[in-house]
């Protein structure tokens, strides 16, 4: 199983090496067997006596992260869809993309996607699941932006990336909380502890984060906006990622975790409301679109909303219908995308307003499309699988219950109505899609190419999918016991046994279907009369606008904030640094009660010290007042020499000597640099600037004073100085304790201080010499 | 760097420079037992050199004292480091110092410490660094131009 998951990835590595033959044979042919082999591999698990299978590959055992794969009915259904439709999409893309495209890139991305999608549905470890999850986002990003020279492609790719990664990250947060709560990284382990999870305090966060992840990935309302823009991808990508696989990752996530959330009212409310809203809103919006792929994109959103709603219902009938619809949707939507691609390929246009009357020109495509669209609409014909699942969906909406509360009760009454309204629009856009494209008059001047039927091999993949539609339609129970009941059981937690009938007998589901059929036909025929309603709703209400506005605001406000504090003025940065030190240190000093004013341990103050200190203080203040730079330098010298005198007074001869000479050298250097400096211009500082400076300087000085005095009065340990004084001669062989410390006890400090001097000298030398060379040039 | 034509300065410099150099050497050797050491000694030597440069001008002193001060501080750093590395060969930690009394042919019994070697490195490095910095700035082309233009 592990090999099956990683096989596409391994092949993706080899694809660049295949480019040698790419002029003779299309890359797609060379790698087509891979998904087919995976499909066949997973097919062997199908059967009424299905057993779960596991396989583990160690990854980061210390953190309990493994590639542990768990194959149950749900994973199997998805794995079959991924590999099966993957095979068909690769076959289709061979004819869709010609040699001039960068095929190596295309198939590499596609196979990375295939691997990661298989990983998502088969992983039992939540972190492995997340890894694969982000890989699907990443490869989807690459695939949407495949024609990167198109601006719309880049926009769509970025948008889908932003939204799905946002969801992916919140999902990661949810998974981390889950791991912390349950102390396991295995999904099955978590399901076993569902009581612990539901009762934990973090449960609302788990729920919201996981649902956010699932909703963004599955394009649920209001995160659906990335999917229509993702239609800029090549059509095989749209068919594969954005109808059959990636968008169902969110569905899979909810399905996978629903045994945990089973019976939780908030889960039911959130998922049902959003699912049903997505269903109604997207099908309503789909009628408005003029681009074939945009109609299909909104249709996908709507169908995903329907599946999501059914997962939210959580009854065994609803879950069975959801699983059934996952399979049905993948078959008919995949075929419809491929047909839309064929029409685009053969006529050069996807605009439904320009198309029409293609039935006689492209009879096979039209035949295939009729099955796809009618199945999508849920037309009650015994060979269309869409009808079965739609009927079961209606049935499920009527059987809700088990939750109490007035809000929930209103919701339960409202859901069937919304479902019917959504389905009416589903019917309308399905009819519109078919009749708008294939019936009516063919206008040769409107389309760039003269249309003709696509090559047979290009028609083969959609034909196979349509065949799937029909087989499921005629013999639904073949799939039922071998696959669907196992999948539903995996979600529901106990075994689900259900017979699928075409004829449910007279009952509300049938009446609802009839209403959909009747009102839908009426609305479709009168479409041009009520189309104006779209000016009112959505009118200017568009989530794309919200997204664009948010992205723009994000950019402008971060730019504003950055330009607010990144002024480029050193003075401002200095203020920020000092104020931050003041605030953080001062606050800590305050809360830790660290201020310690205690003058018991103070040596007597002599008059000399006072005089020197006063002179230094005057000189320091004078430096700030000086109008002339030379004066400032010289007055600063006074402070330095005063310090040297203080060192003498405190019996530090070495320090005094060094200070004296260093001060002299500094003043000399200052004076040397003086010639390079411009004259002091009288800075016209405003009063506020001066006030701020004064305030910051005073505050910082006071803080340092507080710290100094408090530090002096706070001794935690015996000072080390005693040891030095006692051992200077014994160990260091000298009488000068300072020097012995410098060269012997703490020689390494001195060594590196010398190194500091060394680099300073080098830097100054280099700076001056290099500047000369630059000027010479 | 322009040289001055002050006779008194030139005469006194001849005397003072050597007193300064002598004092700096004293400070350097006194370091272990009295105030002083490599750092101060080095600075003092540099001060003597600067006085000479100021009095006699850059060209003449460079001719008399053809020292590349960049080499001086590299040598100093090398000596300081190697004096530390030496300790490793005697199974001591890096920068361990040793001292002892030795009977030398001319000086008689003397107290010698390896710390002096380290201090010598510091001394040379300080001299080299100070001189490099000051001479680079002082001999900078632009400063000469400014000086000539009489600012």
What integer pLDDT is reported at residue A170 of this predicted model?
A: 93
Lowest mean pLDDT among A156-170, A395-409, A518-532, B25-39: A395-409
Q: What are phi and psi of A202, to 5 degrees?
A: -85, 5
In this structure, chain A runs to a length of: 777
What integer pLDDT is reported at residue B144 of this predicted model?
A: 47
What integer pLDDT is reported at residue A168 of this predicted model?
A: 92
User: Which pair of structure tokens corresponds to residue A3?
Assistant: 């090999």
| Spatial separation of the C-alpha atoms in residues A461 and A458, rounded to whole Å | 7
Cα-Cα-Cα-Cα dihedral sign, residues A361, A363, A364, A368: positive
What integer pLDDT is reported at residue A680 of this predicted model?
A: 58
Contact across the interface for A733 and B80, Cβ inside 8 Å: no
Mean pLDDT of A554-561: 91
Mean pLDDT of A5-21: 80
Q: Determine contact, residues A107/A45, Cβ cutoff 8 Å.
A: no
Please tell me the distance in Å from B75's CA to the nearest CA on chain A: 11
Helix (H) or strand (E) holding A770: helix A747-776
A384 three-class SS: coil
| Spatial separation of the C-alpha atoms in residues A671 and B85, rounded to whole Å | 40
Lowest mean pLDDT among A108-122, A596-610, B21-35: A596-610
* Interface predicted TM-score (ipTM) of this complex, two decimals: 0.82
Burial class of A585 by CB neighbour count within 10 A (0 to 12, 13 to 18, 19+): middle
Q: Determine contact, residues A138/A9, Cβ cutoff 8 Å.
A: no
> Does the domain spanning A564-716 belong to CATH 1.10.3470?
no
| Spatial separation of the C-alpha atoms in residues B125 and B43, rounded to whole Å | 10
**Which residues in chain A have their CB less than 8 angstroms from residue B31's CB?**
734, 736, 739, 743
| Spatial separation of the C-alpha atoms in residues A120 and A175, rounded to whole Å | 14
What integer pLDDT is reported at residue B147 of this predicted model?
A: 43
Mean pLDDT of A655-660: 86
Mean pLDDT of A171-190: 88
**CA-based angle B32:B38:B44, to the nearest 5?**
120
Report the C-alpha dihedral over residues A604, A607, A612, A613, rounded to 10 degrees: 50
In this structure, chain B runs to a length of: 151
| pLDDT digits 0-9 by tens, B66-87 | 888 888 888 888 888 888 787 7
Average pLDDT, chain A: 83
Nearest neighbour of B136 by CB, restricted to A738, A748, A765:
A765
Question: In terms of Cα–Cα distance, which of B140, B136, B3 is closest to B73?
Answer: B136
User: Which pair of structure tokens corresponds to residue B101?
Assistant: 């009394």
A766 three-class SS: helix
Q: What are phi and psi of A53, to 5 degrees?
A: -130, 150
With 60 as the cut, is the pLDDT of residue A774 above it?
Answer: no
Task: Report which of residues A413 and A505 the model is more confident about.
Answer: A413
Please tell me the distance in Å from B45's CA to the nearest CA on chain A: 11
Question: In terms of Cα–Cα distance, which of A236, A257, A309 is closest to A279?
Answer: A309
Question: In terms of Cα–Cα distance, which of A461, A418, A707 is closest to A588?
Answer: A707
Question: In terms of Cα–Cα distance, which of A585, A589, A370, A416 is closest to A513?
Answer: A416
What band does A171 get if pLDDT is binned at 50, 70 and 90?
A: very high
| pLDDT digits 0-9 by tens, A355-372 | 777 777 788 888 888 888
Torsion region of A493: left, alpha or beta (phi above 0 gives left; psi -120 to 50 gives alpha): left
- Domain ranges in chain A are 1-165+225-252, 263-535, 564-716, 717-771
Mean pLDDT of A88-99: 84
**Which residues in chain B have their CB less than 8 angstroms from residue A756's CB?**
none
Nearest neighbour of B134 by CB, restricted to A669, A744, A751:
A669
The full DSSP string for A503-568 is ---SSHHHHHHHHHHHHHHHHHHTHHHHTTHHHHTTTT--HHHHHHHHHHHHHHHHHHHHHHH--S
DSSP letter at A482 equals: I
> Can you list the alpha helix ranges (DSSP code H) found in A97-186?
103-122, 126-144, 151-182
Contact across the interface for B137 and A673, Cβ inside 8 Å: yes
Burial class of B149 by CB neighbour count within 10 A (0 to 12, 13 to 18, 19+): exposed
Dmax (CA) of chain B: 62
Q: What own/partner pairs with CB < 8 Å and gap ≥ 24 does A709-716 have?
A: A709/A596, A709/A597, A710/A589, A710/A594, A710/A595, A710/A596, A710/A597, A712/A601, A713/A596, A713/A597, A713/A598, A713/A601, A714/A594, A714/A596
Nearest neighbour of A764 by CB, restricted to B128, B133, B142:
B133
Contact across the interface for B40 and A657, Cβ inside 8 Å: yes
What integer pLDDT is reported at residue B148 of this predicted model?
A: 41
Mean pLDDT of A702-730: 81
Mean pLDDT of A270-276: 88
**Which residues in chain B have their CB less than 8 angstroms from residue A736's CB?**
30-37
Q: Determine contact, residues B42/B73, Cβ cutoff 8 Å.
A: no
As beta bridge partners, residue B112 has B100
Task: Report which of residues A649 and A498 the model is more confident about.
Answer: A649
| pLDDT digits 0-9 by tens, A513-534 | 888 888 888 888 887 777 777 7
Torsion region of A539: left, alpha or beta (phi above 0 gives left; psi -120 to 50 gives alpha): left
What band does A172 get if pLDDT is binned at 50, 70 and 90?
A: very high
Lowest mean pLDDT among A209-218, A762-771, B16-25: A762-771
Q: Determine contact, residues A390/A378, Cβ cutoff 8 Å.
A: yes
- Highest mean pLDDT out of A20-24, A340-344, A393-397, A614-618: A614-618
Please tell me the distance in Å from A136's CA to the nearest CA on chain B: 55
Nearest neighbour of B31 by CB, restricted to A733, A736, A769:
A736
Contact across the interface for B74 and A758, Cβ inside 8 Å: yes
Mean pLDDT of B80-100: 75
What integer pLDDT is reported at residue A22 of this predicted model?
A: 61
What integer pLDDT is reported at residue A63 of this predicted model?
A: 83
Interface-testing mutation among A659, A747, A759, with chain B (most B C-beta atoms within 10 A): A747
Contact across the interface for B37 and A734, Cβ inside 8 Å: no
Percent of chain A scoring above 90 in pLDDT: 4
**Which residues in chain A have their CB less than 8 angstroms from residue B149's CB?**
none
Tokens 């233009």 correspond to B149
User: Which pair of structure tokens corresponds to residue A363?
Assistant: 């009879």
With 60 as the cut, is the pLDDT of residue A136 above it?
Answer: yes
- Highest mean pLDDT out of A473-482, A636-645, A767-776: A636-645
Q: Determine contact, residues A423/A378, Cβ cutoff 8 Å.
A: yes
| pLDDT digits 0-9 by tens, A539-549 | 666 778 888 88
What integer pLDDT is reported at residue A770 of this predicted model?
A: 75
Question: In terms of Cα–Cα distance, which of A102, A90, A74 is closest to A38?
Answer: A90
Nearest neighbour of A733 by CB, restricted to B111, B121, B146:
B111
Cα-Cα-Cα-Cα dihedral sign, residues A56, A58, A62, A64: negative
| Spatial separation of the C-alpha atoms in residues A671 and A676, rounded to whole Å | 10
Contact across the interface for B134 and A755, Cβ inside 8 Å: no
Distance of CA A504 to the CA centre of its chain: 44
Lowest mean pLDDT among A206-215, A332-341, A450-459, A669-678: A669-678
Contact across the interface for B151 and A675, Cβ inside 8 Å: yes
Percent of chain A scoring above 70 in pLDDT: 93
| pLDDT digits 0-9 by tens, B119-146 | 888 889 888 888 888 888 777 665 444 4
């Amino acid at each position: 199983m592990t090999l099956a998951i990683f096989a596409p990835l391994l092949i993706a590595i080899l694809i660049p090496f295949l480019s040698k033959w790419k002029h003779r044979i299309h890359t797609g042919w060379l790698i087509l067997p891979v998904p087919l082999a995976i499909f066949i591999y997973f097919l062997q698990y199908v059967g009424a006596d299905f057993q779960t299978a596991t396989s583990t590959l160690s990854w980061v055992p210390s953190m309990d992260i493994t590639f542990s794969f768990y194959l149950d009915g749900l994973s199997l259904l998805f794995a079959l869809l991924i590999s099966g439709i993957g095979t068909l999409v690769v076959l289709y893309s061979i004819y869709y993309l010609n040699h001039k495209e960068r095929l190596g890139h295309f198939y590499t991305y596609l196979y990375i996607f295939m691997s990661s999608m298989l990983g998502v549905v088969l992983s039992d470890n939540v972190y492995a699941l997340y890894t694969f999850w982000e890989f699907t986002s990443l490869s989807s990003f690459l695939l949407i932006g495949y024609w990167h020279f198109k601006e719309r492609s880049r926009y769509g790719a970025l948008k889908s990336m932003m939204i799905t990664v946002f969801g992916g990250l919140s999902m990661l947060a949810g998974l981390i909380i889950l791991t912390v709560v349950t102390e396991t990284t295995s999904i099955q382990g978590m399901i076993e502890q569902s009581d612990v999870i539901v009762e934990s305090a973090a449960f609302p966060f788990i729920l919201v984060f996981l649902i956010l992840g699932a909703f963004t990935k599955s394009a649920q309302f209001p995160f659906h906006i990335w999917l229509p823009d993702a239609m800029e991808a090549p059509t095989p990508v749209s068919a594969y990622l954005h109808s059959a696989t990636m968008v169902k990752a969110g569905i899979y996530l909810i399905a996978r975790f629903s045994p945990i959330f089973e019976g939780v009212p908030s889960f039911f409310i959130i998922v049902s409301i959003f699912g049903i809203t997505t269903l109604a809103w997207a099908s309503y919006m789909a009628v408005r679109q003029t681009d074939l792929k945009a109609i299909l994109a909104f249709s996908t959103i709507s169908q995903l909303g329907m599946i999501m709603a059914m997962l939210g219902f959580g009854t065994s009938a609803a879950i069975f219908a959801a699983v059934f619809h996952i399979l049905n949707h993948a078959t008919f939507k995949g075929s419809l995308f491929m047909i839309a691609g064929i029409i685009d390929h053969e006529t050069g246009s996807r605009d439904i307003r320009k198309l029409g009357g293609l039935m006689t020109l492209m009879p096979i495509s039209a035949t295939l499309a009729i099955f796809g669209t009618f199945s999508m609409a849920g037309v009650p014909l015994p060979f269309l699988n869409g009808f079965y699942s739609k009927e079961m969906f209606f049935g499920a909406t009527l059987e809700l219950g088990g939750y109490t509360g007035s809000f929930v009760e209103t919701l339960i009454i409202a859901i069937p109505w919304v479902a019917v309204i959504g389905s009416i629009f589903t019917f309308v856009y399905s009819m519109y899609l078919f009749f708008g494209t294939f019936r009516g008059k063919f206008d040769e001047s409107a389309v760039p190419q003269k249309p003709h039927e696509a090559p047979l091999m290009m028609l083969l993949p959609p034909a196979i999918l349509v065949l799937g539609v029909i087989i499921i339609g005629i013999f639904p129970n073949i799939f039922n016991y071998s696959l669907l009941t196992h999948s539903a059981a995996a979600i529901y937690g106990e075994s689900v046994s259900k017979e699928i009938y075409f004829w449910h007998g007279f009952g509300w589901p049938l009446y609802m279907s009839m209403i959909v059929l009747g009102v839908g036909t009426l609305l479709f025929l009168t479409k041009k009369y009520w189309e104006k309603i779209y000016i009112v709703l959505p009118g200017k209400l568009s989530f794309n606008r919200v997204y664009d506005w948010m992205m723009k605001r994000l950019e402008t406000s971060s730019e504003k904030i950055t330009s607010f504090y990144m002024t480029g003025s050193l003075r401002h940065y200095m203020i920020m640094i000092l104020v931050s030190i003041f605030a953080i240190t001062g606050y800590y000093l305050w809360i830790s009660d660290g201020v310690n004013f205690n003058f018991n341990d103070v040596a007597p103050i002599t008059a000399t010290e006072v005089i020197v200190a006063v002179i230094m203080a005057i000189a320091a203040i004078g430096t700030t007042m000086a109008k002339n730079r030379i004066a400032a330098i010289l007055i600063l010298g006074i402070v330095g020499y005063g310090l040297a005198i203080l060192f003498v007074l405190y019996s530090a001869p070495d320090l005094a000597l060094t200070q004296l000479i260093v001060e002299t050298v500094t003043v000399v250097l200052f004076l040397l640099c003086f010639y390079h400096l411009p004259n002091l211009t009288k800075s016209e500082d405003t009063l506020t600037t001066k006030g701020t400076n004064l305030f910051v300087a005073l505050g910082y000085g006071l803080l340092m004073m507080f710290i100094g005095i408090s530090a002096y009065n706070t001794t935690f340990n015996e000072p080390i100085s005693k040891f030095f004084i006692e051992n200077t001669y014994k160990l260091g062989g000298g009488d000068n304790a300072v020097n012995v410390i410098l060269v012997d006890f703490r020689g390494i400090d001195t060594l590196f201080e010398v190194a500091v001097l060394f680099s300073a000298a080098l830097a100054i030398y280099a700076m001056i010499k290099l500047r000369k060379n630059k000027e010479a040039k | 760097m322009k040289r001055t034509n002050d006779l008194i300065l030139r005469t006194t410099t001849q005397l003072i420079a050597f007193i300064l150099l002598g004092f700096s050497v004293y400070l350097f050797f006194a370091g272990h037992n009295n105030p002083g050491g490599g750092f101060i000694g080095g600075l003092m030597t540099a001060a003597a050199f600067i006085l000479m440069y100021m009095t006699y001008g850059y060209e003449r002193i460079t001719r008399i004292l053809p020292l590349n001060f960049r080499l001086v501080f590299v040598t100093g750093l090398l000596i300081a480091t190697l004096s530390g590395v030496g300790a490793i060969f005697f199974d001591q930690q890096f920068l361990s110092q040793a001292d002892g009394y030795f009977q030398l042919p001319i000086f008689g019994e003397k107290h010698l410490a390896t710390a002096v070697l380290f201090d010598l490195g510091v001394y040379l490095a300080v001299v080299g660094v100070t001189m490099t910095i000051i001479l680079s700035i002082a001999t900078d082309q632009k400063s000469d131009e400014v000086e000539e233009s009489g600012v």
